[in-house]
Amino acid sequence: MNAKRKVGGFTCAANKCKNNTAINRNISFFRFPSNPQRANQWAEVCGINNVTPEKLYKNYRVCAKHFAPDMFLNDLQNRLQPHAKPIIINEIDEEVESAFQSKVNDEILMDTIISVDFTLTSTDTSASSALNSSDINMSKENNENINLKNNVGVQTELQLSNSTPRKRKLRMKCEAAEKRATRAELKVQEEKQSLDRITYNDFQKLLYKFFPKPMADFIKIQGDNLQKSV
């Protein structure tokens, strides 16, 4: 296997990991151990064959994404324990991962619906206030016009329409807001239907995608015990 050093930085030596020191500057990268035995252990985990410990130490790096939380000396995750050893996260089908991501986004969508509902309520209140204010102003203006016309001896029939340009504009805004709310509600229903297709086995697989193996193992055991008690 060729060294994973590229122009502009190191690419993570873990199999199929594309994190790069030049691109992913927020992720720490670690040299292979100088100890030959431990360097070979890292190489085995990463799927590297026929590379000497010296070359591993000089030319290969492993990113922080492949170490369990207890393998770090600090919260910044930029220093490893002396005995640290990387792990490889299991691959997950794209369909299952997408379904899990939909579950994560469900709360965001619900927040959006609440925000839209609040906007609708505010719009309705503002529209009502604006309409009332408009009616009062129109009444005052009409009274002034009547008095003025009476003073000059002009009698005119007054016709007030409920379909003023201002009211039509407010109605259009309310209708548009209602349509947005309807579309958002339909989106939430689609996401909920997608979540219903996620099985417990899918959830177990996803644990190893988003959590380090020790933590994923612990959560899996707790989940298995819960399933048995149901």
- For 104-140, how does the pLDDT look when each residue is reduced to its tens digit (9 = 90+)? 455 555 655 555 455 555 555 555 555 455 554 555 5
Residue 24 above 80 pLDDT?
Answer: yes
Q: Is residue 124 part of a domain?
A: yes
Whether residues 22 and 119 share a domain: the answer is: no
Q: Is residue 17 part of a domain?
A: yes
Counting the structural domains of the chain, the total is 2
Whether residues 41 and 110 share a domain: the answer is: no
Residue 27 above 60 pLDDT?
Answer: yes
Whether residues 146 and 109 share a domain: the answer is: yes
Tokens of 67: 């170490």
Q: How far apart are CA 195 and CA 198, in angstroms?
A: 6
Q: How far apart are CA 6 and CA 169, in angstroms?
A: 60
pLDDT score for 174: 86
pLDDT score for 55: 95
Whether residues 57 and 101 share a domain: the answer is: no
Q: Is residue 113 part of a domain?
A: yes
Residue 102 above 60 pLDDT?
Answer: no
Domain hosting 40: range is 5-71
35 — pLDDT class (breaks 50, 70, 90): very high
Between CA 109 and CA 114, with CA 112 as vertex, the angle to 5 degrees is 115
Q: Is residue 22 part of a domain?
A: yes
Q: Is residue 108 part of a domain?
A: yes
How many CB atoms neighbour CB 157 within 10 A? 4
Q: Is residue 225 part of a domain?
A: no
Residue 208 above 90 pLDDT?
Answer: no
> Picking from 73-82, 141-150, 186-195, which range would have the lowest pLDDT averaged per residue?
141-150
Candidates 14, 47, 53, 17; CA nearest to 32 is 53
Whether residues 101 and 62 share a domain: the answer is: no
Whether residues 65 and 109 share a domain: the answer is: no
Whether residues 65 and 107 share a domain: the answer is: no
Whether residues 66 and 100 share a domain: the answer is: no
With tokens 């309310």, the residue in question is 174
Whether residues 61 and 138 share a domain: the answer is: no
pLDDT score for 218: 83
Residue 77 above 60 pLDDT?
Answer: yes
Whether residues 109 and 194 share a domain: the answer is: yes
Q: Give pTM, 2 decimals.
A: 0.39
With tokens 């996401």, the residue in question is 191
pLDDT score for 30: 97
Ramachandran assignment for 50, one of left (phi > 0), alpha (psi -120 to 50 degrees), beta (any other): left
Burial class (CB in 10 A: 0-12, 13-18, 19+), 104: exposed
**Mean model confidence pLDDT for the chain:** 75
Q: How far apart are CA 89 and CA 64, in angstroms?
A: 12
Q: Is residue 15 part of a domain?
A: yes
Whether residues 122 and 192 share a domain: the answer is: yes
How many CA atoms within 13 Å lie on the side-chain side of 108? 6
Q: Is residue 35 part of a domain?
A: yes
Whether residues 159 and 110 share a domain: the answer is: yes
